[in-house]
Structure 1
């Protein structure tokens, strides 16, 4: 799943500039595009520390989704967490609209397909 996130975010590092920020998003740092406006980026752009930070952010979003949607299956909750990884804590109205908060409104579906 983290590899799929990296693929969607930076095409596995292809779109990370020399300073470690996204070619198309100057707020996103590293392979997994940790948003510097919401988090303090950790580690070098391709480091284990960076990957662990991004994984922690994803897990934090999963905990939020589990509380909001306890009736969803584990897979549905994980998909919601992926959407939240991209869209932040904006309101999700339900599974059918999970990507309404995401970039191009297809983020979790695309990451899920890549995974």
Structure 2
């Protein structure tokens, strides 16, 4: 027989808890199901907005390309991205950014290292370093681990996260997907230089005016193919 004192205590706890109070803080995640796990990538939903993909301007000003062009380009970089996948995933875990987005930026910026010279700088710009093309004119770039080192991916991911937070703070009423799309654009332009436009003109100031659209198209491909 259960002592009456125990019954009374349990009844008190039930009534107290039912009024919205938490008696004991459980530091362990709930074991609701074997598949339960905390969200590691709060920016993952940015993979899914509509995107125009890669665009190329002609001499007449017309633009062509599209999502299929973005997918074609990132598909040719996959084998190089696979070589640094563990580092990209680690940077994603550090910052909460989906690794597919980081990998897509590496593909867009340097063709996953293919467009870098022997010193780790872009063939197209002497002020852009590493797989993630960090600007040496905006930041003190960490070159200690080389252009594909963990330090580089971690630093780039942190720069991207600061850009994402800048947009979130500046446009709290935007949908999450649009906030992060603009954050990707700000990463390219530089937070200190990026004047946030409307949601339909996010790429106005970016490289070739298609940066975030191209990155998102590449990231969607990497996710769909389960490469990242």
Q: TM-score, normalised by structure 1?
A: 0.97
Which consecutive residues of structure 1, in runs of 5 or more, have no partner in the other structure?
Answer: none
Per the alignment, in what secondary structure is the counterpart of residue 204 of structure 2? helix
1:95 and 1:58 map into 2 onto residues whose CA distance is 19
Task: Please report how far the alpha carbon of residue 93 of structure 1 lies from its aligned counterpart in structure 2 after TM superposition.
Answer: 1.7
Name the structure 1 match of 2:196.
Answer: 92
Which consecutive residues of structure 2, in runs of 5 or more, have no partner in the other structure?
Answer: 1-100, 220-228
**Are residues 1:60 and 2:147 paired?**
no
**Larger RCO, structures 1/2 (Cα 8 Å, 6+ apart):** 2
Which aligned segments of 4 or more residues in structure 1 are displaced greater than 2 angstroms?
none
Equivalent pairs, count: 115
Task: Please report how far the alpha carbon of residue 69 of structure 1 lies from its aligned counterpart in structure 2 after TM superposition.
Answer: 0.8
Of the candidates 22, 35, 38, which is equivalent to residue 122 of structure 2?
22
2:108 and 2:196 map into 1 onto residues whose CA distance is 21
Name the structure 1 match of 2:89.
Answer: none
Larger-Rg structure: 2
Of the candidates 26, 34, 39, which is equivalent to residue 134 of structure 2?
34
Of the candidates 217, 221, 228, which is equivalent to residue 113 of structure 1?
217
CA RMSD of aligned residues (A): 0.8
Task: Please report how far the alpha carbon of residue 33 of structure 1 lies from its aligned counterpart in structure 2 after TM superposition.
Answer: 0.6
Equivalent pair of 1:92/1:101 in contact (CA under 8 Å):
no
Name the structure 2 match of 1:9.
Answer: 109
